[in-house]
């Protein structure tokens, strides 16, 4: 009897199958059955550092590219924070090309430490590079390899900083062009995927450096909580983030609706005499009626103030700065200005101020972009 000459199919690793199901669910693609080749498949990009999480994600996405329903490329960002980072980026790009990803882009960034630490500066530079790359090649989405463990760490960091609901909600599965399909996957499972698919991940030495708060949370706080409270603490923290995320999304929707009704926009002239042009290109100030702000629930009021600051080009203000801005509504003491992050100031027109008590700035909080 002639030996069976049919090729032996390797058994699918269950963790790889689980990861494929997560990516497929988020992209609306099937992992089984006959593939449906698309004439002009959409392009997605994977943000890949070369570490186990993002490399595993890239390999899983390559499966969908081979089925012909989507094109998959990647962006490797070199932050230049360590010696040899350029070589790491080149090696990562080469491994991604071997997986069949195309295009594979390498972007070298310069960090801007304008009042922020290295982690925040690297994050800002990374997302700037990812967005520019997606725009350049016409990608519909950028996939990121954050895991359940990253989510748990984010919640604990938010608690330590006394942050609000949005911060405690952690990272969203969908936000703009960004997708995070692995938020239900443990970090150790991405290592299993790399082993199963014979990948060679890069292990960032910064992930072992206790100088970083997130590293201390990862290797000190979470293991301590697990020892004291029992296993499953990471899953519980991630589950809390999911619950708070839905609450935060609802509050954000309400705040956006109120902001749309209240915000008046104008150029960079003085508040009392500025013409309310409404032209975004000339936007230098935003006015918010004090009486209407006082009538909002505190959770909405803080969000409306934050939306104005961000629209003027600032960054999300801290709760402390927002609370200081909110105190201006009491019309007691100083009329400001209160400085928010990102060179945005907020003040009110004082009743004791000389000149007519009228114009677009009177009876309103004025948020101004400092030039």
User: Is 164 annotated to bind ligand?
Assistant: no
First to last CA, the chain: 85
User: Is 33 annotated to bind ligand?
Assistant: no
User: Is 240 annotated to bind ligand?
Assistant: no
Candidates 167, 193, 186, 166; CA nearest to 232 is: 186
User: Is 337 annotated to bind ligand?
Assistant: no
User: Is 53 annotated to bind ligand?
Assistant: yes
Q: How many angstroms separate the CA atoms of 33 and 41, rounded?
A: 18
User: Is 281 annotated to bind ligand?
Assistant: no
Partners of residue 43 on adjacent β-strands: 71
Quick one: three-class SS letters along the chain? Answer: CCCCCCCCCCCCCHHHHHHHHHHHHHHCCCCCCCCCCCCCCCEEEEECCCCHHHHHHHHHHHHHHHCCCCEEEEEEEECCCCCCHHHHHHHHHHHHHHCCCCCEEEEECCCCCCCCCHHHHHHHHHHHHHHHHHHHHCCCEEECCCCHHHHHHHHHHHHHHCCCHHHHCCCCCEECCEECCCCCCCHHHHHHHHHHCCCCCCCCHHHHCCCCHHHHHHHHHHHHHHHHHCCCHHHHHHHHHHHHHHHHHHHHHHHHHHHHHHCEEECCCCCCCCCCCCCHHHCCEEEEEHHHHHCCCHHHHHHHHHHHHHHCCCCCCCHHHHHHHHHHHHCCCCCCCEEECCCEEEEECCCCCCCCCCCCCCCEEEEEECC
CB neighbourhood size of 174 (10 A): 11
Where is the binding site for ATP, in residues?
Answer: 49-54
Where is the binding site, in residues?
Answer: 49-54
């Amino acid at each position: 009897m002639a030996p069976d000459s049919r090729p032996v199919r390797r058994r699918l690793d269950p963790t790889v199958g689980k990861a494929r199901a997560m990516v497929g669910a988020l992209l609306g693609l099937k992992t089984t059955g006959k593939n449906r080749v698309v004439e002009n498949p959409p392009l997605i990009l994977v943000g890949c550092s070369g570490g186990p999480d993002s490399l595993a994600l890239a390999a899983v996405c390559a499966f969908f590219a081979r089925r012909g329903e989507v094109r998959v490329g990647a962006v490797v960002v070199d932050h230049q924070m360590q010696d040899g980072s350029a070589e790491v980026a080149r090696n990562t790009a080469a491994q991604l090309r071997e997986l069949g990803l195309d295009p594979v882009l390498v972007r070298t960034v310069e960090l801007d430490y304008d009042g922020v630490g290295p982690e925040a500066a690297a994050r800002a530079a990374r997302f700037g590079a990812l967005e520019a790359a997606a725009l350049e090649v016409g990608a519909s989405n950028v996939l990121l390899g954050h895991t359940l463990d990253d989510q748990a760490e984010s919640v604990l960091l938010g608690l330590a900083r006394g942050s609000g609901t949005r911060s405690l909600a952690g990272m969203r599965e969908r936000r703009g062009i960004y997708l995070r399909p692995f938020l239900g996957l443990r970090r150790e499972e991405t290592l299993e995927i790399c082993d199963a698919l014979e990948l060679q991940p890069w292990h960032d030495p910064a992930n072992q450096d206790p100088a970083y708060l997130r590293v201390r949370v990862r290797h000190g706080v979470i293991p301590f909580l697990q020892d004291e409270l029992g296993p499953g603490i990471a899953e519980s923290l991630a589950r809390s983030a999911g619950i708070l995320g839905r609450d935060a999304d609802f509050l954000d929707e309400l705040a956006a609706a109120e902001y749309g009704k209240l915000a008046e926009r104008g150029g960079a002239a003085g508040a009392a005499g500025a013409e309310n042009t409404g032209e975004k290109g000339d936007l230098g100030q935003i006015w918010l009626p004090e009486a209407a702000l006082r009538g909002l629930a505190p959770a909405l009021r803080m969000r409306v103030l934050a939306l104005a600051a961000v629209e003027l080009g600032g960054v999300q203000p801290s709760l402390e700065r927002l609370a200081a801005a909110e105190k201006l509504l009491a019309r007691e003491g100083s009329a400001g200005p209160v400085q928010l992050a990102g060179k945005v100031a907020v003040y009110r027109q004082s009743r004791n101020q000389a000149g007519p008590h009228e114009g677009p700035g009177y009876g309103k909080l004025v948020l101004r972009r400092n030039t």
